[in-house]
């Protein structure tokens, strides 16, 4: 792919001095695992990135803007200044700190995490700290309070329904706790 866009047409840069932007997509998470992210270099699509893939994008020296997109959702744009012969390392992953519906609507500008990584940043993604699912904790607390009221007022059918609903955030929190314990 060196010297050509990932779509197979038009070179990204001319014969001038060039550097490289190396973009790596982390192979983790269920969100978007079957979909590719569009790479926007200086607001122009230049390729696609699938999970566990690394792409080298040759660019002219100077400042550039990198952003990832999937449908209407985006990552925040990152500005990089590339010197001649330099390789700038960027990494990306789904932003799993956002609940799905929030990320699809209000959080669409931060749907994808994009960050600058150093060349020696070969840290194992499994060793990163998992984000705390605060919204799930709040949802579980509200449902448990509703369960308490339903039991206190003798509404057994309502209590059973609320108890079933409370299993969803409780299972997410339980999976988070197990995964966090395994990583430490």
Which CATH number is associated with domain 18-127?
2.60.40
- Closest to 110 in 3D by CA, of 120, 121, 118, 102: 102
Look up residue 6 and give its two tokens: 């990932």
Q: 60 forms bridges with which residues in the sheet?
A: 18
According to the model, what pLDDT value does residue 107 have? 62
Residues forming a β-bridge with 18: 60
pLDDT value for 27: 83
pTM of the model: 0.58
Three-state DSSP state, 150: helix
Residues 17-70 pLDDT 10s: 689 999 999 887 777 888 899 999 999 999 999 998 999 999 999 999 999 998
Q: Average per-residue pLDDT in the chain?
A: 80
């Amino acid at each position: 792919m060196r010297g050509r866009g990932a779509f197979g047409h038009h070179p990204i840069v001319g014969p001038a001095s060039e550097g490289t932007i190396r973009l790596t997509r982390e192979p983790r998470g269920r969100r978007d695992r079957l979909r590719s992210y569009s790479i926007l270099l200086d607001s122009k699509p230049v390729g696609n990135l699938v999970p566990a893939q690394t792409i080298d994008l040759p660019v002219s020296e100077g400042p550039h803007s990198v952003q990832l997109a999937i449908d209407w959702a985006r990552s925040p744009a990152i500005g990089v200044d590339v010197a001649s012969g330099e390789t700038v390392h960027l990494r990306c992953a789904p932003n799993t700190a956002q609940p799905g519906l929030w990320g699809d609507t209000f959080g669409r500008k931060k749907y994808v995490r994009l960050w600058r990584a150093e060349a020696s940043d070969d840290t194992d993604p499994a060793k990163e700290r998992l984000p705390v699912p605060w919204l799930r904790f709040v949802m579980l607390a509200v449902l448990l309070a509703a369960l308490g009221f339903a039991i206190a007022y003798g509404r057994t059918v309502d209590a059973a329904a609320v108890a079933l609903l409370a299993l969803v955030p409780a299972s997410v929190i339980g999976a988070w706790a197990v995964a966090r314990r395994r990583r430490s």
